Structures are given as structure tokens and as C-alpha cells.
Structure 1
Amino acid sequence: MTHPGEITRRQLIHRIGLTALAAGPGAGLLSACATAGTGGEPTAAPATSLAASADPKNPFGVDARKPLEVVIFSGGYGDAYAKDLHEEQYKKAFPGVTIKHTATQEIGTLLRPRLVGGDAPDVINNSGPKSMDLAALAAEGALADLTPLFDAPSIDDPAKKVRDTITPAVIINAQVTGKDLVLNYTVSHRALWYNAKLFATRGWTVPTTWQEFTALGETAKKEGILLFAYPGQKGPYYQLWNALYTAAKIGGNQVILDIDNLVDNAWLAEPMKRAVTVWAEIQAKYGDKAYLGLDHTQTQIKQLQNKVLFYPVGSWVENEMVKDKPDDFEYAIAPIPEVTGTDKMPYGAIQVGVGENFVVAAKGKNPQGGLEYLRIMLSKEGARAFTEKTKNVTVVNGATEGVSLPAGLMSAAKAQDKAGQNIITEARFEGWYKELFDYATEQTNVLMAGRITPDEFCANVQKKADGIKKDDSVTKQTRSQ
């Protein structure tokens, strides 16, 4: 029997996708990271906390002789920012140190066995469609506490703590199971993205109401252009985000808070149903089911070819497609149009969040070095270098001064300024309850393929949320903002 806060060995394996290991030759590795408990069932382990030293230049007491291992998700940002910039800064701070660098798009597949087997790398960029369940890893004590990082002196100004040099959303979103375990490094703007040059050439204006949105869909259809598309492979969560943030625009941010807090019937709330319905209708009238077989990159190529007007994604898309973007394409952001005429959030409200997870493995060989590596990333030099390399903004305040930004990011920055305080909050159940997020993503594909109705979608996901809520092995989390 398990109690709140406990997780059985088999439940842990299931939640981090290692069921196959339980019956295979690697099953013996499980004991290496299981925390002892009654009946052989490990209780939730606390995150490892690393005490700070008195030296502001080396606050974590890094042993310069110890190698460091860094694993980076090679997605929209690539991995050159780590290999050529941050790792070089680390080597400069600790001359002669050896760094093992790995880039992969298979984060979970590559690292789950290693984390379970006690052979974790020191720094992990946990991102992409195969990212790991952080709540499950936190329950097993696999993640180092980042509080010492946030309380450490800033590299730029030792009189300031790191936490005082970054956007407050980092600290709000750092917590998993009540501890600061995750560093979200980038600022992202998730909305609808379009080609500003195409709109200028055609004399089209960005729609501000749903009526204008569908009217543009009719116009575009006559010219063989889809109003909207999303990738059915390796990226249907883009549309799940889109539906969630549309629901928040309709009913306010409380819609997202209720979903994150597993409030009863949160997925059945009228704003959620309305959002799911209007997007299912857009897909049926102005989308193309053939796109269900495409991944995110293939869909983004279609948009670059002006075969798609609006695409729901984040501001990382501009850098992700930089090598394929033709000269006649200029990324720009469009807020979600007014849906009901009485939406709680005005037109212009956009989602601005922090993302791109980084964690330090508590059971790595050099967790002190892992914390220092993140502190280097959070310096102005480290952040500015990232922005220059990836053309994406980080969470470090003042790090973009003097940096030339591409058109899409400039558009996003202006949209954020116009939105003011009307910012759609970021849904957090993706990291808190990954099993729920993955299921909702699967159901999004089924919905957009026309195989279930919007009401069935909401009912199915609500049933899954109810199951998560009743599962005592899942550590519950709450938020108030």
C-alpha cells in the first residue's frame, strides 16, 4: 500500500517510461537509485541540496579537476550555444577541465536508463517531445535542489543574488513537488505566427475577431491557402497549448489554474469546451487532414511556402527555420482573435512564458559543477551569447542590450508591450503531470482528425485528470498565480 508522497518502484518505472527494463536484464539497476522503504517500496526522496561556499567566484566549491558531462536537446535551438559558448566559458573558469558533450533529440530514451542506473550526466537540457517526467524524477530524488543556485552571487554583480537578475517567472516555475528543481532558460511567446510580407503583399490585415478570422479563411481557401495547420506528428501539443490559451482568453487565467490544480471538472468548464470547439471547427473547415501525417518541421516548411497562413507555435520557430526561410517570408506574431465578443481577456492578450528546462542531476558525478554551469548560463555574457547564437531571448534581465534581433522576435516584443498586464499564464501540468499532458496531446490528434467530438475530448481528458487526482502515488502540486 502506498500513501500520499510515496511511489512504488514499479509505479516509478511506469511513470518514467521504463517498464521494459523491469523484466529485462537491466532490472537489477533499479535498486541503485531506489530509496529504501517498508516492504521494499521506496518513499519519495528529497532533492539533493548543495551547500554554498564563501567564495563568490566559486560559490559551490567546484573541484576543477572533476570532469563535467552536459547533455543538450538538439531541437530548435541546436546545441552550438552549449558546445561553443557556455562550455567554453566553463573551461575558462576552470582551465584544464574536461567536458563531455552530447546532443540528442531522444532525451528520455537516452537518459532514463542512465538516471535509473545511477550514471546520470551532470547537466541535462530536458526538452522536446521525449522529455522526461520531472515529477517522477523529483520523487526519486534524482534532481538537485537549485535553491543554492538562485541564492548564489551573480557573476556580473556579486552583490546581487542570481534570483535578483532574472525574470521572476523563473522562480515561480522552478518548483516541482515544492522544491526549486528546474531552470527555465528562455522567454517564449506562444500564439499564432504568420508571414507579415505575404499579408502586406495581399493587403490583408491580421484578424482581431473570430468573424474576421473565418472570413480570411474563406478568402485564403479560394487561393489554395490553408487558414490554419498544425503538425500531427511530433508536435500536436502545439495545438493543445493553442486550445488551452484560447480557453484562458475566453474565461481568464483561472481556467489554466484550475486545470493545473486538478480542480473537479476543470476540463469541462465552458471556456475550455468553447475553445476546443472553435478550433475543431477551424480544422474541419479550413485545415487539411493530410497534415496529420506531417511533423512540426514539415508543417513549418509548408508555411514558409505560403501554403498555410497561421501556425500555432512559440517564438523559437524563427531560429528553428532560419536555414529554410526564404527572403519573402517574415515571421510575425498574431494574438488569438476575440472569440465570443465578451472574452475576459482583451484582444492582444498573449502567452508569455519561460521554457527550455535545464536540471542538474543529484546523482551525477559533479553536481557542484552542474550548478556552476547554470550560473554561467545566467550571466549576461552567457545569456547574450545564447541570444546572438539562437536569436532567442533568455530570462536574464538586460542581456539583450545591443543585440540585433530578427523580425519575429521584434514582433513578439512589441506584442508583449501592447499586452501589458494582459498576459496569458503558462499551463504547468505539462511538467507536473506528464502522463496527463501526454494523454491530452494524444486526444488532441484524435479530435483534430474528426474521430471524437469536442465534448468527448473534454470528457476523456477530464476522466484522465480525475484518475491522476485519485492516484496517491502522484505527488500533487498547486499554484495560485
Structure 2
Amino acid sequence: MGSIPEEKHGSPTPGAGVGRRDLIKRSAALGLVSVPAMGLLSACASGGGGDSGDNNAKGKTTKDNPFGVQKSGKLDVVIFKGGYGDDYAKAWEADFQKKVGVTSSHTGTQEITGKLQPRFNAGNPPDIVDDSGAQKIKIDVLYKNGQLLDLAEVLDAPSVDDPDKKVRDTLIPGTLDPGLQEGKVVALNYIYTVWGLWYSGKLFKEKGWEEPKTWDDFLALCKDAKSQGIGGLAHQGKYPYYINVAIMDLIAKQGGLDAMKAIDNLDPKAFVGSDAAQAGVEAIYEVVEKGYLMPGTNGLTHTESQTRWNQYKAAFITCGSWLENEQLKQTPPDFDMKFMPMPVLTGSALPYEAIRAGSGEPFIIPAKAGNLPAAKEFMRRMLSREWSTLFAKEANSLTILKDGVDPSVQLRPGTQSTVEVSKAAGDNTFRYLYTEWYSEMDTAIQNASNELMAKRIQPKEWLKRAQAAVDKAAKDPAAKKNHRD
């Protein structure tokens, strides 16, 4: 999420493989080192978007200006300033002013709800928002309140790069699905993200450790690390979203796509009565019971825990692929950051190479945006190769655009390793959608995980609490419209 979820986005079912061949094709040309991010700046946003305040005001529509953007207008942009920073957005805004004639007011912040909820409530929201991070406004809540624009018009507009194609046809298949609410795409999850475990190539080489492919080997390595005064696993304790990466990955890999879909589809036996769920949570709890957690990790924020990991105080940490960019300043030059899939339990339905992958970092256009034409055009240009490449240069990550990065752009070691792991995964990818469909359920499961990692509850109780969250969500009327086949 940027750093705390993530991330969504037809196309084939996302769990069945999210355009792997397209990613492989465009990733082949990518190298190892990227351009360093610029210094971060932020400015206060003004309150309303366009000059007239009339969100239906349009200029003349043309092939190059399908939404009728009026020059000399203003655009109110709010960006979650987390793992990806916000320099990429400033580069976009500068190009937008140069080519479209629209100036921007820019806010980079981690306090999305605090800054924006009052504006949404007052009917004066920004024009376009990167709604991510721990303090994001829940997409399902905004949708139920009628505060989000249906993005179909943007997705059906001509592509900037190839006007003979619709924007939606230039995207990696499946990446729009997590932005769906009741069949409508109301959030554009822009970044192609993978989730799993991270480690230091330098530390592993020094210790003679090899990447563990089985959970038994993972535990053995954690045991060896502990004997040398190093934590086995670090997690971002104040944000249990991160440890759920490990728990939910283990469940999906152990039980296969059916186990994942049972959770998304609010099955009455999604957790209680699921052998895969029981095996997954018990595996994580074994790390806790044996004292393999990095000391203090339960009480740390994401950046605090990640920084200690960068200081070689833990062998592994769970995270998504924004980690490298988020930790640029804290990572030693020779750290050699590496990404790996979650190790498998005995009898795993999915292979070790399988990874959670898909789109993250949701961008939204409020229904009452002050300059809707400019907001739509801004989003259309986000899905051009030029802006996708700008993002890769500034944020060290890939976007959902097919062949979306200029071959001359090189990525840093950790990000490059995500490309390599993605190639190895092939079609063995999966992605949960309950985090976007049922935010209250997601929060309840995270809270249970927080109690589990602190040894205040046992796995059996965790399963009960997770199932209770599922059963409660099943009573939501939207549950009948959000379904995975």
C-alpha cells in the first residue's frame, strides 16, 4: 500500500493468473538499478478542483481530448505518500500542465481519512485521489454512500498510445477486478504488486543460508538465526495487515484457489471447518510459540520494523513490492534486497513458486469532483506508456499497463527479483478480493491476527473470530453481488 493494502482490478478471474505472459514480455528488458527518487516535497491542496465548481462543465471534445478538458482549469490531486512516495505524481502533474494546460494543487499525505473525510462529507472532495495506506477511506464505504465515479467512461476511452484501442484493452488482464463494487469499476488499482517474504542476499550469503522452499526449512532457518542472536521473522506489528500476508498466503497455497475463493465468497466453512485455514494459522503460530519473531516486532510500525530488518536484526519480513522504494534511505548499499514466495506446507495444493500478485494502490475519482473532465483525462494519461515509465523511474515498481515501461528503464535489485519470481510463477498467481469488498471483515481478521501474534489467543480462537467476521459480512446485501466463480 502503497503500503497497507492493496491493492485491484473484464478479464480472466484474478486468482487464475493475472496476465503473467504480458508481465514476462515487458519485464525481459528490465535491469537491476533504477534512477533514485527525487527529494520529497508536499504542498497544501486548495479546496475544490475546477474554477467554475461545475463538475459537468466541458470544453470541445476531440480525438485527443475525449472528455472536453478546458485549458487553464485546475486539478486537485491527493496522493498517499507511502511506499511509493509522491514524486511520480508531481512528474505527472508537470506534464499535464505542459500538454493539457491544467495546473494542479498537490497534497502528499498519509492521513487520507483525516484530511479527506470532512471534504467528502461536505460535498467538496478532491478531483483525483490515491486512496491507500493505513488511513485510507474504505472503498466499499465510499461506494455505498454514492461518492465514487463509475470509471467505465475512462476505461472505454481511446488509449493515449493507440487511439484504436480502448484504455481497458491495454491493461494486464484481471487487474481491474479488485476495483469492482457490484460489477462496476470504481477504483483503479494502478500498480502491479506482488506480496510475500523478503530477505537480504548479503546476510544469507554470509550465513550460508538458502532460500527455504518448505515451511520446515523456513522454521529451521529461523531457529538458526535465533541461535545467532537474529530474529527469524519480523512483521509490522502495529499494522497486522502485514502478518496476514503470510497467514492468508499459506491458506491459499495449502488449499488452492478453492480455499481462497471460499473466503472471498463468504463460505460458512471459510475458516472454521477449513483444513487449509487451520494449517495456515497454526504454521504462523508456531513461529510465535518457538520465539522466532524478531524481538519487539509486535509493537513496531511498518517503517520501524522494516528499518530493523534493514539493520540485519531479522532474517525475513512480510511485505508487498513497495518495500524497496519505501526503504530506500534505510537500506545499506550492499544489502541486496530479495523477494521470495511463501514457503509451502506439507501437502500444499499450489507449488512453492505460486505468489499473491495483482494490482494495488487504488486511485479514485469522487462523483462530486470539481473538475471531472480533467480528472478523467488525468487518469487516462496515467495509463499511457509515458506516465507508466515515469512511475517506474520514480517509484521502482511496475504498473498495470501491458508493455508499460520503456526498455531503457532499470529497476533496483529487490524490484528486479520480483520480476524474476513473477516469471517463475507463470500462471500460478492468486489474489484475495475480500479486503476491498468487505473492509469491516478485513479489519476484524487483522484484529484477530494482532491478538494471535501477541499470544493472547490461540489458532482455534483466531479461526472462530475470522469465521464470525465472514458470517457477519455474509449478511451484507452487497454479498449477493460480489462473487467469484
More helix by share: 1
Q: Which residue of 2 aligns with 1:263?
A: 267
Q: Which residue of 1 aligns with 2:92?
A: 86
Q: 2:129 pairs with 120, 124, 130, which one?
A: 124
Letter in 1 for 2:246: N
Question: For residues 356 and 50 of structure 1, do their structure 2 counterparts lie closer, same or farther at Cα, with a shift above 3 Å needed?
Answer: farther
Q: 1:327 pairs with 310, 322, 333, which one?
A: 333
Deviations 1:328-381 (A, max 9, x none): 3111112111211x1100111111111000000110111121111111111100
Matches of 1:227 and 1:427 in 2, distance apart? 26
62-71 vs 434-443, which moves further: 62-71
Q: Which residue of 2 aligns with 1:31?
A: none
Deviations 1:172-203 (A, max 9, x none): 22311221111011011101000012112222
Deviations 1:288-334 (A, max 9, x none): 46211111111111111111111110111001101111123111112
Q: Which residue of 2 aligns with 1:459?
A: 464
Q: 2:240 pairs with 232, 236, 242, which one?
A: 236
Deviation at 1:72?
Answer: 0.5
Question: For residues 159 and 447 of structure 1, do their structure 2 counterparts lie closer, same or farther at Cα, with a shift above 3 Å needed?
Answer: same
Letter in 2 for 1:66: G
Matches of 2:280 and 2:171 in 1, distance apart? 33
Q: Which runs of 5+ in 2 are unaligned?
A: 1-54
RMSD: 1.9
Percent identity between the two aligned chains? 37
Letter in 2 for 1:241: V
Letter in 2 for 1:68: L
Q: How do residues 375-454 of structure 1 correspond to structure 2 at under 5 angstroms?
A: 375-400=380-405, 401-423=407-429, 425-454=430-459
Q: Which residue of 2 aligns with 1:9?
A: none
Q: 2:208 pairs with 203, 210, 213, which one?
A: 203
The answer to whether 1:297 aligns with 2:303 is yes
Q: How do residues 23-422 of structure 1 correspond to structure 2 at under 5 angstroms?
A: 55-83=62-90, 85-95=91-101, 97-233=102-238, 235-268=239-272, 269-285=274-290, 286-288=292-294, 290-340=296-346, 342-400=347-405, 401-422=407-428
Matches of 1:193 and 1:306 in 2, distance apart? 12
CA contact (8 A) 2:147 2:367 kept: yes
Matches of 2:411 and 2:73 in 1, distance apart? 37
CA contact (8 A) 1:52 1:152 kept: no
Matches of 1:49 and 1:189 in 2, distance apart? 38
Letter in 1 for 2:81: S
Deviation at 1:50?
Answer: 11
Question: For residues 60 and 328 of structure 1, do their structure 2 counterparts lie closer, same or farther at Cα, with a shift above 3 Å needed?
Answer: same
Q: Which runs of 5+ in 1 are unaligned?
A: 1-47
SS in structure 2 opposite 1:145? coil
CA contact (8 A) 2:160 2:381 kept: yes
Q: TM-score, normalised by structure 1?
A: 0.86
Letter in 2 for 1:322: L
Q: Identify which of structures 1 and 2 has the higher relative contact order when contacts are C-alpha pairs closer than 8 Å and 6+ apart.
A: 2
Matches of 1:100 and 1:475 in 2, distance apart? 38
SS in structure 2 opposite 1:266? coil
Matches of 1:66 and 1:53 in 2, distance apart? 14
Deviation at 1:215?
Answer: 1.3
CA contact (8 A) 1:50 1:145 kept: no
Letter in 2 for 1:305: Q
Q: TM-score, normalised by structure 2?
A: 0.85
Superposition misfits of 4+ residues, deviation over 3 angstroms: 48-54, 474-477
Aligned residues: 428
